[in-house]
């Protein structure tokens, strides 16, 4: 397993990722959608394409008045340009719609067992009639009727309907694991749930409308870009209209169909057609990562994030302390120590205990050799603060340094001074020392380490290259925190973190104009989640946390934040790249159309026909056809997003300017020439 | 070889000006200088302005508009009534209303389009009070706007952009006046007349010819004409006239003067936003565009005159038609390109007589919105509009919402930047189209075919960009041209100042975004390259069809480009 795959758990199969990008069903629905979207009320929302729409009508009328093959062809190509734009948007919406349909099926009319005020009587009512504050009873096999908090009991719940994760989770009253989601199913036990969602506004309802994009609003950057596109459209209207008069002055005329064709070629139709698809696809990519973004604005903000607050446990470390080293004292070899430590831990089911057995096996090759029955295990207790084993008349104990030292002295033994030194060194390195003793003798010290996940350091280095600062949040003392921080390679850490200090830290970062992202699950995280620019609540977390954040991670994976940032960046890059490409395309179109327009007035202008296009008519047709086809060609790119590799901004821009800027200038020259050859060879003209 | 040395010298001199005038401008506008308080204080007291009164962008703009309207009215009245006013030794009559309006607008908007012949239309009072005063103030207003816009980038969470009255006043007394006074002496030393005695009358007893030689306070006009990128000459021949531009040295000085403030402002910009390299990146874009256009026109002019070549005459000196033999092709092209790229519009050779492609170079400089380095102040603020657009498109490609010199570029900025970029091309194209379509417009054209079209296109491009240079061949002192031209000049000036101040106001109110490795760095060659690309592309997209029918068509009719 490589570091990278370790970081990205394989996609859950439930809600998200159920459909491939070009699913047959989606494709069919999108083709239908291309036509239903021809409604002018929908078209007018996209000003660039609306100009094409109106232009098509103009050429249609012109074709009827002065019918010619050329004018009809232009009309058809323009109509297809509009349809292709509709198709792009419909494709982007398609997968979300399909997912919403799947979700709707889970929202079948369930019955709720409402508990009446006396606290014992149950009545059956429809789930949709439940009000906030109602108490309902759920037992094994019941579908939880709506969102709520468990006020009584504990149960295992199957949340696969929402998260796609089939392993059941434990939900219990009180604490941060008390929230349940409507649509999930109780697998065992009985719980009483207090409903927190108003009718029609449950998490499932919101999720459906989110993946469907029903109330999708344009994001701030999308709006700004739309304005620029409108400006680039507005400018070409006088360019084209004035051309008519200029041409007249040169004693030549330009047909209205040709003018419309020129206008459509010049306005940024490529990005205009794909802009909304890019935005929808960005939201959809979040859903593919099992993240529900409450708004497109949050996805955009994710790209701008410059500080990530990461919880140590689960994100940076595995969360359990694990044995990493055996240090023998007073002549005891590490091997002997390992043997004794292993024996003392065989029955120890704590993660620490198991990790000792594993380390003894992996590092010292100690296996089950001395099996026997005369083992008497001494479990850990809060009073002795140690655990161990009695066998063959010998006692082995492991535990905190002070406890073991006292025990050894009580037994009449003495403690070598090096024990103190070793334990201090280990503690200074941010680890936990565990002292092992056999009867009157101290054998040595086990280093229990908070193990940093493999590959995480490289990941942080990548983030740093992208200009993102990582801050580790931990409840550990500063010493331990510093040690882990330096091992994991985070830029900063917040030790002995409390929700208040977390909130303070976020405000401090934001004060300097930085955007902050964090994850959280507890109710006490809610203020910080609300304050953060990107607040990702774990689906396993409390209702308060989920409401405070602007994203919900259905996987409840602490490393998700990094992927969220990447999706945000990818969205913005895709927008920028296609805008650049679209504008850069215009140069070639000019070289195709301008000589074609004026060759009659000034035959010598053929010198500008650098593509050597066959005739004025094929030149104009090639340009409009290219203009339409490029939309279709770029749909996959718009939906999947421009490839994003974490790197410094300077590197990313160099690559993208080369591909989409320089490429955007060159590609249409080639494309238009090829179309012209096809038109000529097929003798269409 | 001599010309190469001259260009090298020009680069060195401008480099020094960039560094030191740029730093001086920072000191002037940040209020670090006080040695002229004895002028500044009484004037401000007279105007009723507190010395630390800051203005929001709206107040700044309102002050600017009020000031411009007042300037317009005063200038108009002075011109219209010059017949009744003193300092009119030749007893010239009042300027006709349409022409007076056109001229007043022309000077207030820093265009200096001249529908008149200075020496025979304007009294000394008109030249010195009406026009020369506007040469100073319109230039200072331009710099003031540039400074306000720079403050928009430099300030954070601020509701104000400075004070229009203080900025304009300081520009005049600390920058324009001192330089003009010193340089006027240099021009006088070089032979430019500076007199109020009226024309000289010479009677040659030997051949009985009587000559009237026009003269006047030329030297003082000359310096501010160039320094303020005004361009309105004392005489119709402008800097080709030996009184205006007596020697090769004054020719060099004129080029230095007209480039100095626009170039220095890039340093001021960098310094004020806290990173001189930001200014260098912008300056480099200006240099690339300037050098490219210059090389383009020079190649065309060196190639010679196609009509003369067709007549079977070979010339090794290039196209000398309409050029002063004192300056030759090199210095003529350098002067005219520098002047058209700075919205000055003064010329030392006839633009109309350039080869089609040579003339297209001058046209191109204006068509990409006068930013290389552009007019005094206006070049800088227009360039910043393009920088904002470049960053918006390019910045997205690094995966962040775009930012420029630590300011996020969002909806409001894009709205105003778009307006700022749209105004000029729309105005130029629409009015050119109207003019070629209606009889009043067509009647003015002396040449027909593509050259006639070029003349009209050139005229409106020049007016729309507040340049003021003319292609001639157009009898533009008609009611139509006077009034329509004035409208175009007003839109070209205020149509950009209004959105750019709004842009600055929005930027000033913003929080700074800290720079990180994820930021699209703008103090880089990559940004310069993108900026040049965006400017060229926008210019080409707007004007390619028109240029194809004008200079390009004319050139290909002669069978070749160069």
pLDDT interval class at A114 (50, 70, 90)? confident
**How distant is the Cα of B399 from the closest Cα of chain A, in angstroms?**
4
| Residue range B290-313: mean pLDDT, rounded | 85
Cα–chain-centroid distance for residue A478?
A: 31
Q: Residue A516 pLDDT > 90, yes or no?
A: yes
**How distant is the Cα of A219 from the closest Cα of chain B, in angstroms?**
10
Q: Residue A366 pLDDT > 80, yes or no?
A: no
Range B302-311 contact pairs with CB under 8 angstroms and sequence separation of 24 or more: B302/B329, B303/B355, B303/B560, B303/B562, B304/B355, B305/B355, B306/B355, B306/B558, B306/B559, B306/B560, B307/B558, B310/B558
In this complex, how many residue pairs, one in chain A and one in chain B, have their CB atoms less than 8 Å apart? 210
Q: What residue in B sits closest to A606 (Cα-Cα)?
A: B556
Beta bridge partners of A438: A396, A441
- Tens-place pLDDT, residues B71-101: 999 999 999 999 899 888 888 889 999 999 9
B536 touches chain A (CB under 8 A): no
- Tens-place pLDDT, residues B112-146: 888 887 777 888 888 888 888 999 999 999 999 99
User: Is A594 within 8 Å of B553 when comparing Cβ atoms?
Assistant: no
Beta bridge partners of A552: A292, A537
Mean pLDDT of chain B: 91
H or E, element range at A75: helix A69-106
User: Is B516 within 8 Å of A467 when comparing Cβ atoms?
Assistant: yes
User: Is A653 within 8 Å of B398 when comparing Cβ atoms?
Assistant: yes
- Structure-block tokens of residue A202: 């449950």
Which of B422, B433, B511 is the closest to A246 by Cβ?
B433
pLDDT interval class at A101 (50, 70, 90)? confident
Residue A85: partners with Cβ closer than 8 Å, 6 or more residues away: A46, A49, A52, A269, A272, A273, A274, A631
Q: What residue in A sits closest to B390 (Cα-Cα)?
A: A580
Chain B residues near residue A259 by CB distance under 8 angstroms? none
| Residue of higher predicted confidence among A18 and B89 | B89
Rounded CA-CA distance A147/A179 in Å is: 8
B422 touches chain A (CB under 8 A): yes
Which of B429, B450, B517 is the closest to A239 by Cβ?
B429
Range A107-112 contact pairs with CB under 8 angstroms and sequence separation of 24 or more: A107/A182, A107/A183, A107/A204, A107/A205, A107/A208, A108/A143, A110/A143, A110/A145, A111/A145, A112/A136, A112/A145, A112/A146
Which of B396, B419, B436 is the closest to A246 by Cβ?
B436
Q: Which pTM value belongs to this model? A: 0.88
Q: Residue A226 pLDDT > 80, yes or no?
A: yes
User: Is A245 within 8 Å of B437 when comparing Cβ atoms?
Assistant: yes
Chain B residues near residue A643 by CB distance under 8 angstroms? none
Find the helix packing angle between A560-584 and A586-598, rounded to 10°: 20
Chain B residues near residue A263 by CB distance under 8 angstroms? none
- Structure-block tokens of residue B52: 């630390």
What DSSP state is assigned to residue A128? G
CB B460 within 8 Å of CB B432: yes
Chain A residues near residue B421 by CB distance under 8 angstroms? 231, 235
Rounded CA-CA distance A108/B398 in Å is: 44
pLDDT interval class at A9 (50, 70, 90)? very low
- Tens-place pLDDT, residues A267-277: 999 999 999 99
pLDDT-above-70 percentage for chain A? 94
Q: Residue A631 pLDDT > 70, yes or no?
A: yes
pLDDT interval class at B448 (50, 70, 90)? confident
**How distant is the Cα of B409 from the closest Cα of chain A, in angstroms?**
9
User: Is B399 within 8 Å of A661 when comparing Cβ atoms?
Assistant: no
Give the CA angle between residues A191, A197, A201 to the nearest 5°: 135
- Which of A359-368, A604-613, A663-672 shows the highest mean pLDDT? A663-672
- Structure-block tokens of residue A575: 């927008």
Residue A155: partners with Cβ closer than 8 Å, 6 or more residues away: A138, A140, A170, A171, A172, A186, A187, A188, A189, A190, A191
Which of B389, B514, B542 is the closest to A235 by Cβ?
B542
Q: Residue B361 pLDDT > 50, yes or no?
A: yes
- Structure-block tokens of residue A10: 């394989």
Q: What is the DSSP string of A504-539?
A: HHHHHHHHTT--EEEEE-SGGGHHHHHHSSEEEEET
Cα–chain-centroid distance for residue A164?
A: 16
| Residue of higher predicted confidence among A12 and B366 | B366
Unique residue bearing structure tokens 């919880």? A311
| Residue of higher predicted confidence among B62 and A164 | B62
Phi first, then psi, for residue A379 (nearest 5°) are: -70, 160
B524 touches chain A (CB under 8 A): yes
- Tens-place pLDDT, residues A483-511: 888 888 899 999 888 888 889 999 998 88
B502 touches chain A (CB under 8 A): no
Q: Could you tell me whether strands A154-158 and A169-172 are parallel, antiparallel, or unpaired per DSSP bridges?
A: antiparallel
Rounded CA-CA distance B235/B114 in Å is: 10
B517 touches chain A (CB under 8 A): yes
B448 touches chain A (CB under 8 A): no
Q: Could you tell me whether strands A469-473 and A307-311 are parallel, antiparallel, or unpaired per DSSP bridges?
A: parallel
**How distant is the Cα of B427 from the closest Cα of chain A, in angstroms?**
9
User: Is A247 within 8 Å of B549 when comparing Cβ atoms?
Assistant: yes
User: Is B395 within 8 Å of A576 when comparing Cβ atoms?
Assistant: yes
Chain B residues near residue A244 by CB distance under 8 angstroms? 433
ipTM value, please give it: 0.91
Say which range, A165-179, A575-589, B456-470, B495-509, has the weakest mean pLDDT. Answer: A165-179
Q: Residue B106 pLDDT > 90, yes or no?
A: yes
Q: Which residues of A are tagged catalytic?
A: 311
Cα–chain-centroid distance for residue A330?
A: 53
pLDDT at A1: 32
Unique residue bearing structure tokens 């010292």? A364
Do you find a cis peptide bond into A8, omega within 30 degrees of 0? Answer: no
Q: Residue B561 pLDDT > 80, yes or no?
A: no
pLDDT at B30: 94
**How distant is the Cα of B418 from the closest Cα of chain A, in angstroms?**
6
């Amino acid at each position: 397993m490589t570091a990278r795959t370790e970081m990205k758990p394989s996609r859950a199969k439930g809600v998200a990722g159920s459909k491939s990008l070009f699913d047959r069903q989606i494709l069919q629905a999108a083709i239908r959608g291309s036509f239903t979207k021809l409604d002018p009320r929908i078209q007018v929302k996209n000003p660039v394409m609306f100009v094409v729409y109106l232009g098509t009508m103009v050429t249609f009328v012109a074709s009827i008045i002065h019918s010619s093959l050329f004018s009809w062809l232009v009309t058809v190509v323009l109509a297809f340009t509009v349809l292709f734009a509709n198709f792009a948007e419909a494709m982007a919406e398609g997968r979300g719609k399909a997912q919403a349909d799947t979700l709707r099926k889970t929202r079948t009319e369930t019955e709720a067992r409402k508990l009446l005020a006396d606290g014992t009587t149950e009545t059956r009512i429809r789930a949709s009639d439940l009000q906030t504050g109602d108490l309902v009873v759920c037992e094994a096999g019941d579908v939880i009727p709506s969102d709520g908090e468990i006020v009584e009991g504990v149960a295992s719940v199957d949340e696969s309907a929402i998260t796609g994760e089939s392993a059941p989770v434990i939900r219990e009253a009180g604490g941060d694991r008390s929230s349940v989601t409507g649509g999930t199913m109780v697998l065992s036990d009985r719980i009483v749930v207090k409903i927190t969602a108003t009718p029609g506004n449950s998490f499932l309802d919101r999720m459906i409308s989110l993946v469907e994009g029903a109330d999708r609003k344009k994001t701030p950057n999308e709006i700004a870009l739309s304005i620029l596109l409108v400006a680039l459209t507005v400018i070409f209207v006088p360019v084209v209209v004035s051309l008519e008069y200029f041409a007249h002055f040169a004693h030549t005329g330009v047909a209205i169909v040709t003018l419309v064709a020129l206008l459509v070629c010049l306005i940024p139709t490529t990005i205009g057609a794909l802009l909304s698809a890019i935005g929808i696809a960005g939201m959809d990519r979040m859903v593919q990562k099992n993240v529900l973004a409450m708004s497109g604005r949050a996805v955009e903000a994710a790209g701008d994030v410059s500080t990530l607050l990461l919880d140590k446990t689960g994100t940076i470390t595995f969360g359990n302390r694990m044995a990493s080293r055996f240090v023998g004292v007073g002549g005891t070899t590490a091997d002997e120590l390992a043997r004794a430590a292993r024996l003392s831990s065989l029955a120890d089911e704590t993660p620490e205990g198991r990790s000792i057995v594993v380390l003894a096996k992996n590092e010292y090759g100690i296996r089950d050799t001395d099996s026997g029955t005369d083992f008497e295990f001494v479990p850990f207790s809060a009073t002795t603060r140690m655990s161990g084993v009695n066998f063959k008349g010998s006692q082995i104990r492991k535990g905190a340094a002070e406890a073991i030292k006292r025990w050894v002295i009580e037994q009449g033994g003495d403690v070598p001074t090096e024990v103190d030194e070793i334990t201090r060194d280990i503690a200074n390195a941010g680890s936990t020392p565990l002292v092992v003793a056999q009867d009157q003798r101290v054998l040595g010290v086990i280093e229990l380490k908070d193990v940093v996940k493999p590959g995480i350091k490289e990941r942080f280095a990548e983030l740093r290259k992208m200009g993102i600062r990582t801050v580790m949040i931990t409840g550990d003392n500063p010493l331990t925190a510093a040690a882990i921080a330096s091992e994991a390679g985070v830029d900063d850490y917040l030790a002995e973190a409390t929700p208040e200090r977390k909130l303070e830290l976020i405000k401090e970062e934001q004060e300097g104009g930085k955007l902050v992202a964090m994850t959280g699950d507890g109710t006490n995280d809610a203020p910080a989640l609300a304050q953060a620019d990107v607040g990702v609540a774990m689906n396993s977390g409390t209702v308060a946390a989920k409401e405070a954040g602007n994203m919900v991670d259905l996987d409840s994976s602490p490393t998700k934040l990094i992927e969220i940032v990447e999706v945000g960046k990818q969205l913005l890059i895709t927008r920028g790249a296609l805008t650049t490409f679209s504008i850069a395309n215009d140069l070639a179109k000019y070289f195709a159309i301008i000589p074609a327009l004026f060759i009659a007035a000034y035959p010598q202008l053929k010198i500008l026909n650098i593509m050597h296009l066959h005739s004025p008519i094929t030149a104009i047709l090639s340009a409009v056809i290219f203009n339409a086809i490029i939309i279709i060609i770029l749909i996959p790119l718009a939906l999947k997003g421009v490839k994003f590799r974490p790197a410094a901004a300077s590197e990313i821009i160099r690559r993208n300017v080369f591909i989409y800027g320089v490429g955007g200038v060159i590609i249409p020259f080639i494309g238009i020439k090829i179309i012209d050859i096809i038109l000529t060879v097929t003798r269409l003209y | 070889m001599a010309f190469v040395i001259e260009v090298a010298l020009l680069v060195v001199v401008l480099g020094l000006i960039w560094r030191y005038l740029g730093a001086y401008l920072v000191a002037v506008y940040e209020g670090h200088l006080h040695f002229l308080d004895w002028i500044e204080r009484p004037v401000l007291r007279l105007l009723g302005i507190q010395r630390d009164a800051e203005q929001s962008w709206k107040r700044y703009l309102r002050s600017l508009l009020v000031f411009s309207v007042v300037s317009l009215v005063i200038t108009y009245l002075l011109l219209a009534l010059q017949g009744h006013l003193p300092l009119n030794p030749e007893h010239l009559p009042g300027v006709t209303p349409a022409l007076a309006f056109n001229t007043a607008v022309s000077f207030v908007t820093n265009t200096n389009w001249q529908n008149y012949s200075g020496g025979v239309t304007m009294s000394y009072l008109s030249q010195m009070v009406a026009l020369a005063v506007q040469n100073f103030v319109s230039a200072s207003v331009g710099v003031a706007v540039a400074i306000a816009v720079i403050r928009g980038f430099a300030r954070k969470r601020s509701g104000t952009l400075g004070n229009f009255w203080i900025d304009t006043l300081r520009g005049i007394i600390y920058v324009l006046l001192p330089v003009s006074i010193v340089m006027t002496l240099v021009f006088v030393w070089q032979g430019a007349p500076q007199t109020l005695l009226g024309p000289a009358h010479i009677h040659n007893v030997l051949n009985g010819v009587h000559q009237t030689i026009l003269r006047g306070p030329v030297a003082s006009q000359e310096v501010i004409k160039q320094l303020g990128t005004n361009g309105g000459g004392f005489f119709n021949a402008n800097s080709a006239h030996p009184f205006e531009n007596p020697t090769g040295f004054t020719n060099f000085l004129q080029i230095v003067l007209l480039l100095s403030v626009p170039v220095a402002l890039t340093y001021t910009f960098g310094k004020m936003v806290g990173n001189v390299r930001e200014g260098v990146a912008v300056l480099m874009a200006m240099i690339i565009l300037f050098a490219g256009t210059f090389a383009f026109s020079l190649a065309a002019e060196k190639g010679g005159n196609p009509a003369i070549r067709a007549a079977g005459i070979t010339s090794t000196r290039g196209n000398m038609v309409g050029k002063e033999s004192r300056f030759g092709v090199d210095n003529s092209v350098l002067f005219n390109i520098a002047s058209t790229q700075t919205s000055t519009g003064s010329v030392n050779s006839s633009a109309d007589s350039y080869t089609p492609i040579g003339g297209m170079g001058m046209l191109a400089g204006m068509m990409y919105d006068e930013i290389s380095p552009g007019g005094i102040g206006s070049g800088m603020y227009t360039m910043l509009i393009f920088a904002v657009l470049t960053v918006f498109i390019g910045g997205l490609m690094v995966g962040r919402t775009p930012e420029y010199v630590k300011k996020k570029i969002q909806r409001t900025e894009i709205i105003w930047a778009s307006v700022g970029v749209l105004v000029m091309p729309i105005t130029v194209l629409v009015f050119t189209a109207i003019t070629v379509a209606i009889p009043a417009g067509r009647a003015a054209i002396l040449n027909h075919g593509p050259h006639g079209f070029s003349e009209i296109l050139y005229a409106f491009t020049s007016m729309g960009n507040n340049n003021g240079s003319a292609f001639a061949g157009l009898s533009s002192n008609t009611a139509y041209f006077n009034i329509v031209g004035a409208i175009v000049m007003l839109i070209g000036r205020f149509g950009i100042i209004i959105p750019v101040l709004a842009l600055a106001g929005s930027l000033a109110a913003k929080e700074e975004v800290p720079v990180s490795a994820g930021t699209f760095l703008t103090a880089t060659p990559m940004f310069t390259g993108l900026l040049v690309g965006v400017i060229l592309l926008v210019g080409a997209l707007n004007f390619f069809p028109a240029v194809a029918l004008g200079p390009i068509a004319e050139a290909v009719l002669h069978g070749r480009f160069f």
